[in-house]
Amino acid sequence: MVLDCSLCQHQTHEDSPMPSNRTGRRGTPVMAAALGAALLGAAVHADTETRSFDVSPGDRLVLDTEWGEVHVATHGDDTVELVVEQAGAIDLAYEQQDGTLTIRGTRKEGGVVRWFLDWGDRPTFRLTVPHRQDLSLRSAGGDIAVDDLDGELSARTSGGSVAIEEVTGSLEVETSGGSIRVAAAGGAVTATTSGGAIALGPAAGDVEARTSGGSIRIEEGAGRVAARTSGGSIAVSAAGPIEARTSGGSIRATFRQHPDGDSDLRTSGGDIEVLLPADVAVDIDAKTSGGRVVAEVPVTVEGTLERSALRGAIGGGGPQLRLRTSGGSIVLEPL
């Protein structure tokens, strides 16, 4: 079943001549028409659309809008409640079949007046969904915020920040221009932004975080962690191997337990600080061209001991821990 919900069309009125002013000039009909369209457009944009959908446990919700912010809350009912504020700025369509509810928002076509009005009338989608629900959210322009959710989540926006509370399943987040914050995830996490910071809480699976311009903080990854930024610091805590690379900042890596694979930490402009558990067994390959290497844990050194380089083994050796910086020091510390 497909429902198209196009909101009311603008009515047109014939322009009438304006009385002459004291200088003999007549008013401009185009300006009068523009003003009338502006007032009518503002009224349309103020519309609010409300919908309710019955769903079953295990169903999936897809929201795909060309414009607008998205806010998702949860409740204990088997219904999806939707409120769209400033609904007059978009055309809405709904489809519910084969266990998937799809909501689509298409930006209305219009002239200069509508584009001017749209600047301050961004739609907002407010969804209340069952606590146990898989979600796929996409907006071409707006922030996305999601409360606690028992399910998998995919959230993408082309222009805004993303804030996620606890999600029990896997999580994929992407924005072309904003920060990403995730409180906790019960599965693997992939977070990508072209311009903002990334802050991730505990994750029960592997974690991949990438940003072109901001810092990265990962509280605790249960598996392998990969973090890359072109301009910011990185702070990572993980139970598995860590890969961290930044072109302009420091790196702080905390290994919660013995890693089951190789790790690689690199920065072009900052210090590297590594915290290791007492029972760790790794091979160390550390080198800096702009500082020194300091080991505050026992290391069996291979070759000649140098101020700016260290090769050796900790705890008898194991997976490789490779450390490189072009503009800072490297410090190995006990956890």
* Residue 206 and residue 115 in one domain: no
Boundary of a domain, candidates 157, 192, 216: 157
* Residue 304 and residue 272 in one domain: yes
Q: Give the model confidence (pLDDT) of 216-260 as tens digits.
A: 999 999 999 999 998 899 999 999 999 999 988 999 999 999 999
Per-residue pLDDT tens, the chain, 335 aa: give them. 444 444 433 333 334 344 333 333 344 444 444 444 433 443 444 589 999 999 998 899 999 999 899 999 999 999 999 999 999 889 999 999 999 999 999 988 764 444 444 545 789 999 999 999 999 999 998 999 999 999 999 999 998 999 999 999 999 999 998 999 999 999 999 999 998 999 999 999 999 999 998 999 999 999 999 999 988 999 999 999 999 999 889 999 999 999 999 999 999 989 999 999 999 999 999 999 989 999 999 999 887 778 899 999 999 999 999 999 998 999 999 99
pLDDT of 108 reads 84
The answer to whether the beta carbons of residues 298 and 277 sit under 8 Å apart is no
Could you tell me if residue 142 is inside a domain? yes
pLDDT of 269 reads 84
Q: Which residues contact 318 (CB under 8 A, 6 or more apart)?
A: 258, 280, 281, 282, 283
Q: How far apart are CA 324 and CA 303, in angstroms?
A: 18
* Residue 137 and residue 179 in one domain: no
* Residue 316 and residue 329 in one domain: yes
pLDDT of 26 reads 42
* Residue 35 and residue 173 in one domain: no
Could you tell me if residue 256 is inside a domain? no
pLDDT of 31 reads 43
Boundary of a domain, candidates 217, 249, 281: 249
Q: Which residues contact 138 (CB under 8 A, 6 or more apart)?
A: 63, 64, 65, 154, 155, 156, 157
The answer to whether the beta carbons of residues 240 and 222 sit under 8 Å apart is yes
Q: Which of 146, 100, 142 is nearest to 121 (CA)?
A: 142
* Residue 35 and residue 138 in one domain: yes
Could you tell me if residue 261 is inside a domain? no
Could you tell me if residue 260 is inside a domain? no
Range of the domain at 310: 268-335
pLDDT of 11 reads 39
Half-sphere exposure of 4 (CA within 13 A, CB side): 4
Could you tell me if residue 136 is inside a domain? yes
* Residue 283 and residue 237 in one domain: no
Tally of structural domains, the chain: 3
Torsion sign across C-alpha atoms 130, 5, 125, 63: positive
* Residue 60 and residue 147 in one domain: yes
| Tokens describing residue 158 | 């082309």
Q: Which residue spans within 68-161 are E strands per DSSP? A: 69-75, 79-85, 90-97, 100-107, 124-130, 134-139, 144-146, 153-157
* Residue 153 and residue 210 in one domain: no
* Residue 4 and residue 153 in one domain: yes
Could you tell me if residue 313 is inside a domain? yes
33-38-43-44 Cα dihedral, nearest 10 degrees: 90
pTM for the full predicted model: 0.83
Could you tell me if residue 60 is inside a domain? yes
* Residue 5 and residue 131 in one domain: yes
Boundary of a domain, candidates 124, 157, 190: 157
Half-sphere exposure of 150 (CA within 13 A, CB side): 9
Torsion sign across C-alpha atoms 265, 269, 275, 276: positive
Could you tell me if residue 197 is inside a domain? yes
- DSSP designation for 132: B
pLDDT of 39 reads 39
Segment holding 331, helix H or strand E: strand 330-334
* Residue 107 and residue 78 in one domain: yes
